[in-house]
Amino acid sequence: MFQKVMKKLIVIVSLVILTGIVLYGVYSLFLKRTPEKILKTVFNISLKDFDYSIDVFEEEWCPNGDGHTLVAYKFNKLTQENIDYLKKVALKPLPISKIDIQKIDYNRIPEKYFRSDAGYYIYEPLSTHDPRDYQVLIIDTVKKMLVLYYQYM
């Protein structure tokens, strides 16, 4: 009797552990937020053919949904073909206009990513009722960087 109970317990524990491993694998492969998935989701840009590394990846989200994400991609090589691909989003030339600068929360974005005169940017409000909800993309062609920042408040 005791052996039957132990065998049943071992089978149940084994199934629970196996299920946990499978669920973690599915999460890691398909659901985990990565800098590449975030850029694809927010601006529909894929860096598949780019030579880059991730310089910064910071996310801070509250349980109520408020928060922000900052991602800085550093390109090892940035070709004109790469720039043309990135320009498919409605980009404006840098520097950032004074109107858009007034709308951006500089407290969360390091100045080194934000101050540039060579490249492109886009500022998009995400809400009509809260000006603190926006996303911004900056492409610095001199520093060879792409910076993505968005926040919901």
DSSP per-residue codes, the chain? -HHHHHHHHHHHHHHHHHHHHHHHHHIIIIIS--HHHHHHHHH----TT-EEEEEEEEEEE-TTS-EEEEEEEEEEE--HHHHHHHTTTT-EESSPPHHHHHHS-TTSS-HHHH--SSEEEEEEES-SS-TT-EEEEEEETTTTEEEEEEEE-
Residue 128 — φ and ψ, nearest 5°?
-85, -20
| Mean pLDDT score, 127-132 | 78
Residue 79 pLDDT: 86
Residue 94 pLDDT: 83
Residue 105 pLDDT: 65
Torsion of CA 87, 124, 106, 55, to 10 degrees: -40
Residue 53 pLDDT: 92
Domain ranges of the chain: 1-32, 33-152
Q: Is the pLDDT of residue 148 over 70?
A: yes
Residue 99 pLDDT: 67
Mean pLDDT (the chain) is 83
The string over 70-103, giving b where at least 16 C-beta atoms fall within 10 Å of a residue's C-beta and e elsewhere, is bbbbbbeebeeebeeebeeeebeebebeeebeee
